[in-house]
Structure 1
Amino acid sequence: MEEKIFTKIFTDENLPYLELRYSNNTKHYKKHIHDTLSIGINIKGKTVYTNKDRIYDFDIGMIALVNPNEIHSCNPIDKTPNLYYMLYLDQNWCFGIQKTICEDIEEFIPFKKEFLDDMSTYEEFKTLCKTIFSEITYQEKEEELILFFTKLFKSYLKDFHKKPTNEDDMKFKKIQEYIQKNYKKNISLDELSNEFQLNQFYIIKLFKNKLNMTPHAYLINLKINKAKEYLKEGNSLVDTALECGFADQSHFHRNFLKIVATTPNQYKLNFVQD
């Protein structure tokens, strides 16, 4: 029985800087360019990967790194379809993440290598792609994207951390207080950027320097800490999730388990009086 050929493409108006392709297409591509940073992996099968004038046998465990406007192609070796993910990221978004790592750069710094052969990073990227296609909130997807690409870019960018200024401290404090006051809302980076007239990536940097977490991670931690208080008081799981501003029960359960390492119900049972 022939394998069904498919192509699934993820886009989201809340994440306008990315497009993710999941496919087992057998079509062969001519050498071409994108104005995006393109990163891809094979899940099944082998391909011939060309980047500029270099040709590679591309296998599972490898990650193709295609800088913006680099001529490239990646095609199956035989007629059997290869299963792959290909992520396309806006160059300006990538530069914003790089700028949080290295303040001195003035433009996107391209990868010097055409691929990585690192199973750990491969598995992390595969998990990221599955996460993007999952049903979780776009804020959670954005969180995972920021964490993965901060780590990836750090692997080849020199880190010029400058000491935070008093002005940075004041801005961070104001944003932190705003999130604390509005923790019931699902506050986005866009909202923070508009509220404080600050660049999104500058806000990310403030939180990474101060708390070593993103604003969204800080918000989720606040929600979970409040949820623990409500559960200790004997409130129902449904009321607790609503009071803490979680999108739904699944969103509440998933994040509670991730941070507290137990389910909300199991946590609540510790405080039930006989």
Structure 2
Amino acid sequence: MKGKKIEKKDKFTNIFIDNKLPFLELRHSNTGNHYKEHIHDSFSMGINIKGESIYKNRNKEYNFKENLIAIINPEEIHSCNAISKDNHEFYMLYLDKNWCYEIQKTISNKINSFQNYPNALINSHTFYEEFKTLCEFIFSKATVQEKENELIEFFTKLFENSIPHTKEKLEDKNFEKICKYLKKHFKENISLEELATKFNLNPFYIIRLFKQNINMTPHKYLINIKINHSKELLKKGETLVDTALECGFADQSHFHRNFLNIVATTPNQYRKNFI
């Protein structure tokens, strides 16, 4: 991960980029800077955390504040500027259009080009909080695989709002082969790209296989295998440190976070039931 930081008094701009996630750029800013109308070749989303601004897009003007999400399709002329002279804090996320198109194809195989999102604005407290959490997670110390998984999950959900699902189920023996491989190599932090290389498949095709067969991403499936194995070790009285290492988690924090998400209790609380 590379981070750039521009700071003056209470102003700041933090930028997340990572060569393992080349399709993504995320900005977290607190600034009163004003921008003229402009375009991006990326698909963009943004939220205000503090302060209000005027958001212009698709020949319309919006009073942009908390709980609203700005959606900017590639090549759309837009601007977003603070109403007052005070700084306003915001997240702005930019995604490569081709990456978005690949996610859209996991939802429907009947599209042959990137589909613009129909709305310039989403008014939803729930979706706003999910996007804010995603941005915070991307800036966290979570693994690249976890960040990629959360991005896939979030943007699949977003595009499902505007793209009809493909109804037919994919029948491919590679699905069972990949599952078997993950069960055998669960101690490794296998990336989507590694799976694609191993089975000579498009990584987004693998996502589609998993979503249509078990409604989860390959990474989430792998994490579930790790957690199920960790439960057996904890029942036998293994320490948290040894269990985390044995199951291939990056560290104890990584293990704790994922165990809590899936089992709804901490590894230590779970272990106490058996010792």
TM-score range, shorter chain: over 0.9
**Aligned partner (choices 185, 193, 200) of residue 182 of structure 1:** 185
Look up the match of 2:106.
100
1:1-274 mapped onto 2 (5 Å cutoff): 4-165=10-171, 168=172, 170-272=173-275
Q: Deviations over 1:246-265 (max 9, x none)?
A: 00010011111111122112
In structure 2, distance between residues paired with 1:271 and 1:48: 57
**Mapped partners of 2:200, 2:77: distance in 1:** 38
Structure 1 residue 201, shift from structure 2 partner: 1.0
Contact 2:169 2:213 in 1 (8 A): no
The answer (yes or no) to whether the contact 2:58–2:120 under 8 Å persists in 1 is no
Deviation of the 1:53 alpha carbon: 2.5
SS at structure 2 position matched to 1:270 = helix
Deviation per residue, 1:125-150 (Å, 9 max, x gap): 11111111111111111111111111
8 A Cα contact 1:103 1:161, kept in partner: no
Alignment gaps of 5+ in structure 1: none
Alignment gaps of 5+ in structure 2: 1-7
Q: Deviation at 1:205?
A: 0.9
3-state SS in 1 of match to 2:135 = helix
Worse-matched range after superposition: 240-249 or 261-270: 261-270
SS in 2 for 1:6: strand
- For residues 208 and 20 of structure 2, the distance between their equivalents in structure 1, rounded to whole angstroms, comes to 21
Inter-partner Cα distance in structure 2 for 1:143 and 1:212: 13
- Quick one: which amino acid aligns to residue 14 of structure 1? K
Runs (4 or more) in structure 1 with deviation over 3 Å come to: none
Alpha-carbon separation, structure 2, partners of 1:3 and 1:45: 17
Structure having the larger proportion of residues in strand: 2
Cα distance between partner residues in 2 of 1:245 and 1:161: 36
Task: Output the CA distance in 2 between the equivalents of 1:52 and 1:147.
Answer: 27
One-letter amino acid of the structure 1 residue matched with residue 29 of structure 2: S
TM-score (norm 1): 0.95
Contact 2:24 2:94 (C-alpha < 8 Å) held by counterparts:
yes
1:54: Cα distance to partner?
2.1
1:102-128 Cα distance to aligned partner (Å, 9 max, x none): 111001000122111122111111111
RMSD of equivalent CA atoms: 1.3
Taking only the aligned residue pairs, the percentage that are identical comes to 59
